[in-house]
Structure 1
Amino acid sequence: MPEVIINGPEGRLEGRYQHNPVKDAPIALVLHPHPQHGGTMNNKVVYQLFQAFSRQGFSVLRFNFRGVGRSQGTYDRGEGELSDAASALDWLQATNPNASACWIAGFSFGAWIGMQLLMRRPEIAGFISISPPANLFDFSFLAPCPSSGLVIHGGKDELAPEPSVKKLVDKLQHQRDIVIDYRVIPDANHFYAEHLDEMIGMVEDYVRKAVATPAEAAAQ
C-alpha cells in the first residue's frame, strides 16, 4: 500500500492509501485512537479496518493525526484533529472524483472525530464507530445523527464502560429514518484482545450488506 503525503492545516499528514481501480469504487477514511495515548494509523484495529474496507472494494485511506509519526503539528484537543480529518477526506475525494459512496470509520478517539466529521460532511453515507468513548467526550453534537451506521463495543471495555455507549445509541435510535446497528462483544475489552477477528467480521458483514446492489442483497 503506497505511502501518501497530504497537505494538512498544520503541514504534511502522513498516510497510507489503498486504491481500488474500479472507476466508481466507494471510498472510506479510517481514523486512529488518541494521539497522546499511543494512537497511530498502525494501531491493530485501525489497520484491520483499513484492510476490511479494501476487501469490500473500497479505495481506503488511513493517516496519522498532527504530531503523530511523520505528520507535522502538535496535538490540538480534537479541534485540529477534526481539521486534519477534513483535509484527508478532501484528498481522498479529489483522488476519487467518481466514487459511488463515502464512508467514515474510527476507533476510540478516532470514532469521536469521525462522528464530528459526519455532522459536517453530508456526502458521508455510512459510518463505523468502534468503541466510541461516550463517557470521556461529548457526543451531544449528534442531534440529529445524519446517517445510519454500525457501532461496536466491548462488554468488558475498561476505558469506556458499555452502558455509556448504550445510552448514546439509544438516543440515536429515536431519530427518524436512522438505523444504528449496535453490536456488543460480551468478553471484549477496549482493544479487542482475543476478539479482533470477530469484531472485523462484524464490520465486513455490515459493509457488505450496506453497499450491495438490490440484486446482490436479494442473493445474500
Structure 2
Amino acid sequence: MPEVIFPGPEGRLEGRYHPQADKDAPIAIVLHPHPQFGGTMNNKVVYNLHYAFYNMGFTVLRFNFRGVGRSQGEYDQGVGELSDAASALDYLQSMNNNSKHCWVAGFSFGAWIGMQLLMRRPEITGFISVSPPANMYDFMFLAPCPASGLIINGSHDRVAPPADTTALVGKLHEQQGITITHEEVEGADHFFRDPYMDGMIDTVSTYVKRRLTESTR
C-alpha cells in the first residue's frame, strides 16, 4: 500500500492510499482518533476499518491529521482537522472520478470530524461512526443528518458512555428519510480491544455490504 503525501490547508498531509484495479470502485476515507491523545492513522481500529473497506472493493485513504506523523501544521481544536479531512476527500476524488459511492468512516474524535464532513459534502452516501464521543462534542449540527449510516459502540465504553451514544442515535432517529443503524457490542470498551475487534469489523462489513447491494437493485 503506497505512502502518499498530498496538499492540505497547512502544508502536506501524510496518508496511506490503497487503490482498486476497478476504476469505478467506491471510495472511502478513514479518520483517526484525537491527535493529542496518541491518535494516528495507524491506530488499530482505523487500520482495521481501512482494510475492511479495501476487502469490500473500496479504494481507501487514511491519513494523519495536521501535526501528526509527517503531516504539517498544529492541532486546531477540530476546525483545521475538518479542513484536513475535506482536503483528503478532494485528493481521493481527484484520482477516482468515476466512483459512484463515497463513504466516510471515523473512530472517536475521527467520528466527530467525519459527521461534520458528512454535513458539508453531499456526495457522501454512507458513514461509519465508531465510538462517537457524544459526551465530549456537540453533534447537534446533524440537523438533519443527510445520509444513512452505522453508529457502533461498546457497552463498556468509559471514554464515551453508551447512554450518550444512545441519546445521539435517538435524536437522529427522529429525522425523516434516513436510517441510522445502531449496534452496541456487549462487553467491548472504547477501543474494541480483543476479543471484540473482529466482531466490530464484521458488523461494519455486513452493514456496508448490505447498503451496496441495496444501491444496485
Shared topology, TM-score over 0.5?
yes
The structural deviation recorded for 1:206 is 0.5
The equivalent residue for 2:59 is: 59
Residue 79 of structure 2 corresponds to 79
The code of the aligned residue for 2:25 comes to A
Give the whole-Å Cα distance in 1 for the aligned partners of 2:215 and 2:125: 17
Task: Give the Cα–Cα distance (whole angstroms) in 1 for the partners of residues 41 and 86 of structure 2.
Answer: 16
Aligned partner letter, 1:123: E
Structure 1 residue 189 corresponds to structure 2 residue 189:
yes
Aligned to 2:37: 37
In the aligned structure 2, how far is the partner of 1:35 from the partner of 1:64?
A: 9
- Give the equivalent residue in structure 2 for 1:132: 132
CA offsets 1:122-156 (integer angstroms, 9 cap, x no match)? 00000000000000001010001000000000000
Question: Residues 133 and 213 of structure 1: is their aligned pair in 2 closer, same or farther, counting only changes over 3 Å?
Answer: closer
For residues 182 and 74 of structure 1, what CA distance do their matches in structure 2 show?
Answer: 34
- Output the TM-score relative to the length of structure 1: 0.96
Deviations 1:147-194 (A, max 9, x none): 000000000001010000000001101111110110001100000112
1:70 and 1:174 map into 2 onto residues whose CA distance is 42
Q: CA RMSD in A?
A: 1.0
Segments of 5+ residues of structure 1 without an aligned counterpart are none
Aligned to 1:150: 150
Q: CA 1:139–1:35 in 2, change beyond 3 Å: closer, same or farther?
A: same
1:34-90 deviation per Cα after TM superposition (whole angstroms, max 9, x unaligned): 000000000000000000000000000000000000000000000000000000000
Partner of 1:169: 169
Give the direction of change, closer, same or farther, for the CA distance of 1:21–1:141 in structure 2 (3 Å limit): same
Label 1:173 to 1:74 Cα distance change in 2 as closer, same or farther (>3 A): same
C-alpha distance in structure 1 between counterparts of 2:114 and 2:184, whole Å: 20
Identical aligned pairs, as a percentage? 64
Aligned residue in 1 for 2:206:
205
Amino acid at match of 2:152: I
Q: Which residue of 1 aligns with 2:69?
A: 69
Amino acid at match of 1:104: V
Deviating 4+ runs (over 2 angstroms): none
Q: Secondary structure at the match of 2:125?
A: strand
TM-score by length of 2: 0.98
Deviation at 1:214, TM superposition (A): 6.8
Give how far 1:213 is off: 5.6
1: CA distance between counterparts of 2:178 and 2:29?
A: 21
Q: Distance in 1 between matches of 2:126 and 2:152?
A: 14
Q: CA deviation at 1:21?
A: 1.3
Question: What is the number of equivalent residue pairs in this alignment?
Answer: 216
Find the aligned partners of 2:94 and 2:214 in 1 and give their Cα distance. Answer: 25
CA distance in 1, matches of 2:163, 2:72: 37
Match of 2:180 in 1: 180
